[in-house]
């Protein structure tokens, strides 16, 4: 319970930042197809930076989280609570920063990247003459973009529900 209480926010931040890294990588691959892909070293740096940013962003929760015990009808229950030294104002300020970092910033970046990817894949025409195998691969790519868009919308919906629950 102790570790779960202190580090639960890391997983949510990590999820949001990983979705951003994936969308930016896909954006670069579609919009700039002739540029070289990320090397293994650069990919490792992006993964490490994602973990570090998630850990740093959730550090205030880890510092201020405490396990409280209450007795209900003779039954002892423990739950995790955040006790901020600055009171509710400090907790509210951090909650607003979390909402920006976990919801609004990812929403803006995911919207930008996937809208531009969709424009390139569905609106722009492929140069050259028609070729069956290439056109079939292109149609398969269009289906993949639909699923990616679905996952991005599911992510945004789930994070919104989580933040609504946490900020009530």
- How many structural domains compose the chain? 1
- Give the CATH number of the domain where residue 38 resides: 1.20.1070.10
pLDDT band for position 127 (cuts 50, 70, 90): low
The two three-digit tokens of residue 168, written as one number: 């009530």
Give me the pLDDT at residue 4, please.
Answer: 61
What span, in angstroms and rounded, lies between the C-alpha atoms of 65 and 125? Answer: 54
Give me the pLDDT at residue 87, please.
Answer: 84
Domain of 136, in residue numbers: 2-166
Q: Which residues pair with 65 in a beta bridge?
A: 82
pLDDT digits (tens, 9 = 90+) for 5-16: 667 788 888 988
Give me the pLDDT at residue 80, please.
Answer: 78
Give me the pLDDT at residue 161, please.
Answer: 74
pLDDT band for position 64 (cuts 50, 70, 90): confident
What span, in angstroms and rounded, lies between the C-alpha atoms of 62 and 94? Answer: 13
pLDDT band for position 120 (cuts 50, 70, 90): confident
| Average of per-residue pLDDT across 89-101 | 88
């Amino acid at each position: 319970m102790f570790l779960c209480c202190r580090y639960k926010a890391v997983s949510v931040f990590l999820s949001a930042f990983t979705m951003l890294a994936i969308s930016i990588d896909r954006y670069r691959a579609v919009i700039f197809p002739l540029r070289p892909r990320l090397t293994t070293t650069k990919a490792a740096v992006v993964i490490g930076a994602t973990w570090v940013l998630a850990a740093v962003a959730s550090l205030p929760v880890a510092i201020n989280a405490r396990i409280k015990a209450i007795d209900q009808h003779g039954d002892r229950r423990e739950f995790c609570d955040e006790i901020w030294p600055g009171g509710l104002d400090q907790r509210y300020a951090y909650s607003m920063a979390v909402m920006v970092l976990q919801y609004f910033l990812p929403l803006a970046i995911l919207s930008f990247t996937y809208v531009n990817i969709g424009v390139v894949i569905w609106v722009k025409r492929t140069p050259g003459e028609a070729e069956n195998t290439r056109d079939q691969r292109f149609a398969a790519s269009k289906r993949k973009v639909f699923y990616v868009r679905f996952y991005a919308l599911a992510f945004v919906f789930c994070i919104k529900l989580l933040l609504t629950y946490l900020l009530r």
